[in-house]
Structure formats: structure tokens, C-alpha cells
Structure 1
Amino acid sequence: MSMLARRSVARVVAQPSLLVIPSSARNMATLRELELRLKSVRNIEKITKSMKMIASTKLAKAQRAMQAGKEYGIANSEVFDHSKEESPSDSIRRLFIVVSSDKGLCGGIHSSVSKATRRALNNLADTPLEGVKIDPTSPVMVIGDKSKAQLTRAQPKNLRLTFNQIGRDIPTFADAAGVADLITKSGVEFDAVVLVHNRFVSAISYEPKAFEVKGAAALKESEGFKRYEMEDDFTKDLAEFSLANAIYAALVEGHACEQSARRNAMDNASKNAKDMIDSLTMQYNRGRQAAITNELVDIITGASAL
């Protein structure tokens, strides 16, 4: 290194003020960053508004499908109300089926069913199955990748089977029948199935709900079915059909809850983006005004010196 270069470096080190960036340059850099951030937030606001409109359209269709699907659940309830069990409910082997979906951006709707399942398996208070003692080792099957990821971390030993790519659009009875068929052929032994899904309360509210569907053995041993002579496969076919009905009712109601939650989430995101745009715009205008004022001061100072 030459002697002149060494002297220049020593001078810079001895006088740190030489490294200070002029205030005008700092303001210009900050203004540029604010401008880019404003542009980014405006684009996000457009996306969230579009997603809110799409979710609003899908919610109307989902509500109509939910009303039709509830008829399946009502039919199941009438059958099970007339087939009371003789054995204590605590001795029943229960299979938990958690109904969620593969999509996100809809708030904590998937977490609600996952938390309800964990509370039920741990026999904690405030569960959809209050008053019923649950075996902590009960098998769990999950419909949807979102709850699958959550329960894989929390209850990895309980998971037996998972399903995805179901309910991308409005769920159909064929989807529910396919799930019920795979559950029956999975080899997991159970006396009853507990469906955990979200119950549609209103367009802005939902809550986790658990619905129990009896298996073939429980139906066969119930008081109501013992009064009649039936073929051996009757209760088995009825149990499979009832399970498909219950899964379909849970899928369509959960889908309606998901669309409602997504619309509300996108609405809140749009409002937050608007608030952020207002704040950034004010900050940008203040910085721009300060930069112009500094430049005017420099011009006036230079003119006075001349």
C-alpha cells in the first residue's frame, strides 16, 4: 500500500465523521424503502380483497350443501336414539376421526378441532365429550393435512390413518363413502367412531363438536335391535352406511365453517393492510416533506453565502 493511501485510511479512522452519510441521502434511501413497502402492502390488500370475494361466493354454496347434508346427520341421530347400549360407555373402544382440510388462510379453524381432540384424549375439562372417560391410547384418523400436521406433533402414537385431497370443492357423499370404506378396511378395531368437526353457529362463529357413531357390534347388542330378527350382515351394512352419512354431514358442515372463517380472515387482513397503508403513507409524506425542506435550506444557505 502506498504512503498516500495509508495516510488517507489513517485520516478516515481518526475522523469517523467522514464516514457519515449525508442526511439527504439517508432520507432518499428511506423514502425509497417506504415506497417499495407501500407498493407491496397495496398488492397484498388487492389479493386479500379478491380472496374475500371468492370466499363469500363459495360460502353461499357451502351453506346450501350444509343444509342438505344435515338431513343425513338427522337420520343417523334417529337411529342411534332408538339403539341404546347396555354396556357402560367407558368400556367402549372409540376411534376418533378429526375432520379438517388441506387449505390454510382461514384463521384457527383447524386448531380448534385439533385442540378438542387432544383435550378429549387427555380427559381434560371443556371437551365435546364431557362426562365420558376416554382411553388416552384411542386410535385417531385425520381428514386434512392441516390437523394432521398438528396432531402428528401432539399425538404421534395415536395416529393410524390420514386422508387428503378431500373437500377441495364442496364435499360429496362419494367422498364420504370412500373414506368410510377405507376406515372399515383399515383393520383398526373399534366399537364406536367419534367424529370431531366444526359446527356452524353463524357466518362469524363456529365451535368444535363431537358426534358418536356406533359400530356394527354395538348396534347388534343394543336393546332396540334385539327385539327384531335380522340377518347377520344387516347391522354391519347399517353401521357402514351410518358412518358414511355422519362423515358426509361433518364434511359439508366443516367446509361451510372453513369458507366462513376464510372470508372473515381475509376481511381482517384487508382492514389491517388498509391501516398499514395509511400509516406508511403518512410516514412517507413526512419523510418527503423533510427531504424537500432540507434541500431548500441548502439552496437558501448557498444563495446567502454567494
Structure 2
Amino acid sequence: MLARSTLGRVASQPKVLGAAPAGARNMATLREIELRLKSVRNIEKITKSMKMIASTKLAKAQRAMQAGKEYGIANSEVFNHAPAEQSGKRKLFIVVSSDKGLCGGIHSSVSKQTRRTFAEKDATFETDSPIMVIGDKSKAQLSRALPKNLVMTFNQIGRDIPTFADAAGVADLIMKSGVEYDSIAIVYNKFVSAISYEPAIVEVETADALKESAGFRAYEMEDDVTKDLAEFSLANAIFAALTEGHACEQSARRNAMDNASKNASDMINRLQMQYNRGRQAAITNELVDIITGDVPRSYIVFWTWVAHIRYVGASAL
């Protein structure tokens, strides 16, 4: 009888140290916690590496942004000295984002600004005004919110630091698209500081609007000159928006990866504490069963060594 009771207790022992009791639900075993710790540590390494890369790219992006702003300032000077009169309400919206993710709400920022502008039902433009999107991220968001207004999208633009050639190519495709519009509005992210940004809208005059401007009518210019000037002004504005949006993206990615690394570190601490508590509880339960039960000496020696090995291995983590 004693041997049978002993064998019954031995059979009821968990096969793995720290395993959940039979019938227990939603209880993480030590093995599962150990696997989670390993996964979270790997994620922490990745997020820290991405943060370092984004910090390096941010310095280059800020230098490119300063150079790109010069193009935008030149446009503003021209339009301020020769303001154009609005002749229609059909406005073309160019939303500037990118194809990459893992950078917080940088893409949803311009998408929300575009949706907010259309939701306000401003009388200065028609509700069926066309939208063109640079970047796959905002394209996916606006295709659900404003599918009827979306007429053209661009991707693979500014995978690294945007160049004027990228902006000129986009402006050329817009001019040749055949989409009818009376004015142009570029929605982009404005760089405020290394930790903040805000959506902004800049207006760009079209060739027809420039022809009707009093400042341009004072000079005798051919139609091709005005058209080329309008296309060049559009390329300048897009280039300035691309460089500033790229700097905001790198800043947001660095901040997002920093927050992700901190969250991973907190999760590692919680899982490590849970693992230690589970290991100590499992060892204590097994020692209590060994001490209070009538167990052969060989069984006691075996589980004592198992507990010692588990303790040494857990302490090395």
C-alpha cells in the first residue's frame, strides 16, 4: 500500500519543473515565460538598432530639409509679389507621405488633415475635388475614407533623402495627367522640432491663375513661359514638402523606436519577475512534497539535484 501511494504521488508530479497543474487554465508555464522573454529581448534589440539608424538619418534629413526650404521660400516670394486671383473652386490636393511604416502617426496626420478639410465643406473648393497621394501609407487610409476623390498615387518616392529629380518627376506626371483643377494645395507634415510635427497646407498657383495675376500681366510673356514657371513652382513646392516630411518621418521613427524599446524593457522586467516567482513556487512545492511524503531516498536525491540545476540555470538568466 505504501509503495502504491508513493507511486501515485510520483505519477501526479508535474513532468516539467514549473508546469501548470492538471486542469489549470490560462496559466503560463515557466517554459512559456522563458520563450516570451527571449522574444521580447529580440524585439528590444531590433528597436534599439532602428532607433540608432533613425538618429543617424535624422541629421542628414535636417540638412536636406534646410536646403529644400530654400525652394519653398523662393516660391513664396514670387507669389507674394504677384498674387493670383482665384478663378474656380476645383482644388487639387497633393498629400505627401511615404511608403515606410514604424514611425508613429506621421502618415495618419496628413490623412486626418485631408479628411478634416473635406468634412468642413469649405466653400472655397468643391467636395469632389481630386486628390493625389505620394506614398502607399496615406493611400491606403484615404482610399477608404475618400475613394471617389482619389485619382492618382505615387510610390517609391523618397526612399532615401528626396531629391529635386523626384519632385520634378511628380510635377511632370501631374501636369500630364489631364486632371482638371483650378488651384493646388499640398498637404504635408511641418517640422516643428526633433520631437514634434504638425500637418500644414501650402497653396501653389497654377498657370491659368498666374496669367490672370496683375503682376504677371505687366510683362509680356508667352504661354509656354507661364506654363513652365507654374510647373517649376509646383516642383519646388513638392520638393520642399518632401524634404520636410522626410525629416518629420525620421524624427517620428526615432521617437517611436525609443518608446518601443522602453516598453520592451518594462515587459522584460515584468516577465522576469513572473518567471522568478513561478520558479520559486515550483521548487517550493516539490520540496514540500518530497519532505512530507514517504518517498524513496533515490527519488529525493534526484529531485534535489533537479531543483539545484534549475536554480543555477535561472540565476544565470
Asked if Structure 1 and Structure 2 have the same fold, meaning a TM-score greater than 0.5 normalized by the shorter chain, the answer is yes
Which residue does the alignment assign to 2:94? 97
Give me the whole-angstrom Cα distance separating, in 2, the residues matched to 1:21 and 1:190. 79
**Are the aligned partners of 1:70 and 1:249 in contact in 2 as well (CA < 8 Å)?**
yes
Question: 1:218-238 CA deviation, whole Å, 9 max, x = no partner?
Answer: 001011111111122111110
TM-score (norm. length: structure 1):
0.87
**Are the aligned partners of 2:89 and 2:126 in contact in 1 as well (CA < 8 Å)?**
no
1:109-258 equivalences under 5 Å are: 109-123=106-120, 133-258=124-249
**Using a 3 Å threshold, how does the CA distance of structure 1 residues 21 and 271 change in structure 2: closer, same or farther?**
farther
**Using a 3 Å threshold, how does the CA distance of structure 1 residues 219 and 40 change in structure 2: closer, same or farther?**
same
> Is 202-211 or 223-232 further displaced after alignment?
223-232
1:256-271 equivalences under 5 Å are: 256-271=247-262
Question: 1:177-221 CA deviation, whole Å, 9 max, x = no partner?
Answer: 000000000000122210000000000000000001010000010
Give me the whole-angstrom Cα distance separating, in 2, the residues matched to 1:290 and 1:164. 55
Give me the whole-angstrom Cα distance separating, in 2, the residues matched to 1:305 and 1:181. 87
**Are the aligned partners of 1:24 and 1:291 in contact in 2 as well (CA < 8 Å)?**
no
- Is 1:49 aligned with 2:40? no
- Is 1:296 aligned with 2:293? no
Q: CA deviation at 1:303?
A: 5.2
Q: CA deviation at 1:97?
A: 0.3
Give me the whole-angstrom Cα distance separating, in 2, the residues matched to 1:28 and 1:133. 68
**Are the aligned partners of 1:120 and 1:134 in contact in 2 as well (CA < 8 Å)?**
no
RMSD: 2.0
Which residue does the alignment assign to 2:25? none
TM-score (norm. length: structure 2):
0.84
Give me the whole-angstrom Cα distance separating, in 2, the residues matched to 1:27 and 1:21. 14
Which residue does the alignment assign to 1:84? 83
Q: Does the residue aligned with 2:293 lie in a helix, a strand or coil? A: helix
Q: CA deviation at 1:304?
A: 8.4
Give me the whole-angstrom Cα distance separating, in 1, the residues matched to 2:74 and 2:193. 23
Q: CA deviation at 1:25?
A: 5.0
**Are the aligned partners of 1:121 and 1:134 in contact in 2 as well (CA < 8 Å)?**
no
Q: CA deviation at 1:26?
A: 8.1
**Are the aligned partners of 1:27 and 1:291 in contact in 2 as well (CA < 8 Å)?**
yes
Question: 1:57-107 CA deviation, whole Å, 9 max, x = no partner?
Answer: 00000000000000000000011112223346xx33210000000000000
> Segments of 4+ in structure 1 off by > 4 A?
20-26, 303-306
Question: 1:155-188 CA deviation, whole Å, 9 max, x = no partner?
Answer: 0000111000011100000000000000000000
Report the residue type matching 1:183 in the other structure: I
**Are the aligned partners of 2:135 and 2:156 in contact in 1 as well (CA < 8 Å)?**
yes
Report the residue type matching 2:73 in the other structure: I
Aligned pairs, how many?
280
**Using a 3 Å threshold, how does the CA distance of structure 1 residues 285 and 68 change in structure 2: closer, same or farther?**
same
Give me the whole-angstrom Cα distance separating, in 2, the residues matched to 1:136 and 1:183. 20
Which residue does the alignment assign to 2:30? 31
- Aligned residues: percent identity? 77
Q: Does the residue aligned with 2:120 lie in a helix, a strand or coil? A: coil
**Using a 3 Å threshold, how does the CA distance of structure 1 residues 211 and 133 change in structure 2: closer, same or farther?**
same
Q: CA deviation at 1:22?
A: 5.2
